[in-house]
Amino acid sequence: MQDLEFVQRCIKGDKLAWNEFIDRYSRLVYNYIYSVLKVQGLNPASFVTHTEDIFQEIFCALLKDNCRKLRAYKGKNGCSLASWLRIVSINATIDYLRRQKPAVSLDEERENELSLIDTLKSFAPPALELLSQQEKLKGLRGCIDKLKAEERHLLELHLDMGLSLERVKDVLGVSRGAIDMRKARILEKLKDCFKKKGFELDF
């Protein structure tokens, strides 16, 4: 059965389809949540509690408002339901972790830690050293918003959550080579976006 047809059955309240959905994807979602929490270095004793809380949030969101979240799945560009749920799970976990700590701005410095701007510099030093002015920071945010969901998640994991690329590959379940290729592609997209905004970048 095609994923989109399967999702439509779930949306229409087909109990057999929902039972199959839970059997097929609950462990997958749980594992994605757990993998993000694990690389964050949280106390292992709290993993189960946090994972179950996020797991419940995700499934409630899928069903809420007449399955509005689940209706967002369209299977575009060959995206499988499993891949879409991975994005949903990682995003929900990131949002959950953000709620557990005070928000951090791009240029806020934390005690004994680099600011996110400093982290961005390490991501692409020659280019991002130029991002000291407010106008260029605004341009950066706009360009990041145009990236694909998986590309934004890579940035969130690497920059916002401070994970090394080696740890990001574990969360996303891909090879280090694939992560490096995605990083290069993201930088190229940001470079093109900045040029369109009148910024001259060289990386």
Q: Reduced to 3 DSSP states, what percent helix, strand and coil does the chain have, rounded to the nearest 5?
A: 75, 0, 25
Note whether 94 and 36 are within 8 A (CB): yes
Q: Is residue 143 part of a domain?
A: yes
**Radius of gyration (Cα) for the chain, nearest Å?**
19
Q: Is residue 127 part of a domain?
A: yes
pLDDT at 9: 93
Q: Identify the CATH number of the domain in which residue 122 sits.
A: 1.10.10.10
3-class DSSP state for residue 148? coil
Q: Which of 99, 126, 147 is the last residue of a domain?
A: 99
* Residue 146 domain boundaries: 116-196
Note whether 36 and 90 are within 8 A (CB): yes
pLDDT at 136: 62
Shared domain for 129 and 81, answered yes or no, is: no
List CB contacts of 48: < 8 A, sequence separation 6 or more: none
pLDDT by position in tens, the chain (length 203): 589 999 999 999 898 999 999 999 999 999 888 888 877 666 767 778 888 899 999 999 998 898 989 999 988 777 889 888 988 888 888 888 878 765 444 444 444 444 444 544 444 434 344 344 455 666 667 787 788 877 877 877 777 666 778 878 877 778 888 888 888 888 888 888 877 766 655 54
Q: Is residue 202 part of a domain?
A: no
Number of domains, the chain: 2
Q: Is residue 106 part of a domain?
A: no
Q: Identify the CATH number of the domain in which residue 11 sits.
A: 1.10.1740.10
Quote the CA–CA distance of 134 and 10 in Å, as a whole number: 46
Q: What tens digit of pLDDT does each residue of 98-115 get? A: 787 654 444 444 444 444
With 0-12 / 13-18 / 19 or more C-beta atoms within 10 angstroms meaning exposed / middle / buried, residue 86 is: buried
Q: Which of 66, 99, 132 is the last residue of a domain?
A: 99
